């Protein structure tokens, strides 16, 4: 699979889970913009069979290299970002994993049960980023228990392996000069911003500003009834020059707040 095909497949899967992203993309395009992705983010657990490095396989095989890592102490997460070796317009890839050893036995057992359902003999590791939920029936009381400990774990339990968010590069939008103008446009069009830590995370001193709309909610079938649960969200990033080139990394404090875009308790 070429990188172009891979990103098309990822977008198709992501936009089917995230109708708002498709709507926002069309709104930008109807204003005369072409969408370039700044980065695409994925979530996983730290088991070596499905961890960051396992999810990264398909990107590494397509010309990506590891660039940097990040620690999120409070959320008990670890992340790495990858950059394409030669294609400067290819999106960065940001993959995080939950440090399961720091959680209760309820959470650890739930993750083991999920992984027991995966047939690793037949799974092609390159397909993992597109494979969705690979475990059986969902239980709402388990979901609710996971949610109390880690919003991230609960989200993964329901959504499985997929792009958690795509991110529009605001630098590449022709009709918007900054993130504030993008946010105003989105709010005018009825979208709700993630306001955790302020609508704009980061600043020019950190070389990166980010904002996001709140995740869509989709109906999910649980053994014990249907519930509306957060799926994925769309993010927007504006990068400043560090020296002669645009800053290419991430800011842990900002990402920490962006994670909250899938929080069920933010309305
Ligand atoms: Ni992001």
Q: Is the dihedral of CA 98, 93, 257, 253 positive or negative?
A: positive
Q: Assess whether pLDDT exceeds 60 at residue 267.
A: no
The Å distance, Cα 40 to ligand 1 centre, comes to: 7
CA end-to-end span of the chain: 39
Mean pLDDT of 92-112: 98
Contact status, residue 154 vs residue 230, Cβ threshold 8 Å: no
CA of 115 to the centre of ligand 1 (A): 26
Which segment of 57-61, 87-91, 183-187 scores lowest on mean pLDDT? Answer: 87-91
Residue 168 CA to ligand 1 center (angstroms) comes to 10
Q: What is the pLDDT of residues 28-40, one digit of tens each?
A: 999 999 999 999 9
Confidence of residue 264 (pLDDT cuts 50, 70, 90): confident
Distance 11 CA to ligand 1 centre (A): 15
Decide if pLDDT at 249 tops 70: yes
Pairing of strands 163-169, 233-239: parallel
Over residues 113-157, the pLDDT tens digits come to: 999 999 999 999 999 999 999 999 999 999 999 999 999 999 999
Extract the tokens encoding 152: 């991230």
The pLDDT tens digits for 201-215 are 999 999 999 999 999
Model pLDDT for residues 68-101, shown as the tens digit of each residue = 999 999 999 999 999 999 998 899 999 999 999 9
CA 148 to chain centre: 21
Q: What is the pLDDT of residue 45?
A: 98
Query: Residue 165 Cα, ligand 1 centroid: separation in angstroms?
Result: 7
**pLDDT given for residue 266 in this prediction:** 63
Distance 224 CA to ligand 1 centre (A): 33
CA–centroid distance, 148 to ligand 1, in Å, is 23
Residues shown for the chain? 267
Average pLDDT over residues 21-32: 98
């Amino acid at each position: 699979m070429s990188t172009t095909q891979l990103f098309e497949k990822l977008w198709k899967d992501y936009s089917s889970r995230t109708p708002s992203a498709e709507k926002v993309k069309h709104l930008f395009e109807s204003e005369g913009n072409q969408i370039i992705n700044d980065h695409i983010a994925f979530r996983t657990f730290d088991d070596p069979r499905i961890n960051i490095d396992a999810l990264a396989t398909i990107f590494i095989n397509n010309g990506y290299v590891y660039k940097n890592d990040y620690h999120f102490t409070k959320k008990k997460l670890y992340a790495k970002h990858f950059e394409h070796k030669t294609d400067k317009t290819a999106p960065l890839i940001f993959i995080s994993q939950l440090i399961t050893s720091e959680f209760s036995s309820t959470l650890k057992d739930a993750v083991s049960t999920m992984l027991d359902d995966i047939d690793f003999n037949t799974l092609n590791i390159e397909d993992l980023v597109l494979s969705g939920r690979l475990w059986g029936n969902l239980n709402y009381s388990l979901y609710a228990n996971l949610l109390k400990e880690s919003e991230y774990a609960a989200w993964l339990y329901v959504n499985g392996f997929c792009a958690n968010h795509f991110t529009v590069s605001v630098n590449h939008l022709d009709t918007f000069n900054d993130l504030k103008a993008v946010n105003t446009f989105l709010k005018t069009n009825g979208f709700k911003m993630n306001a955790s830590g302020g609508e704009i995370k980061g600043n020019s001193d950190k070389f990166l500003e980010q904002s996001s709309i709140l995740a869509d909610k989709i109906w999910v079938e649980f053994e014990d009834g249907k519930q509306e649960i957060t799926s994925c969200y769309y993010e927007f990033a504006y990068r400043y020059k560090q020296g002669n080139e645009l800053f290419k990394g991430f800011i842990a404090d900002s990402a920490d707040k962006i994670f909250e875009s899938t929080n069920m308790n933010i309305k």
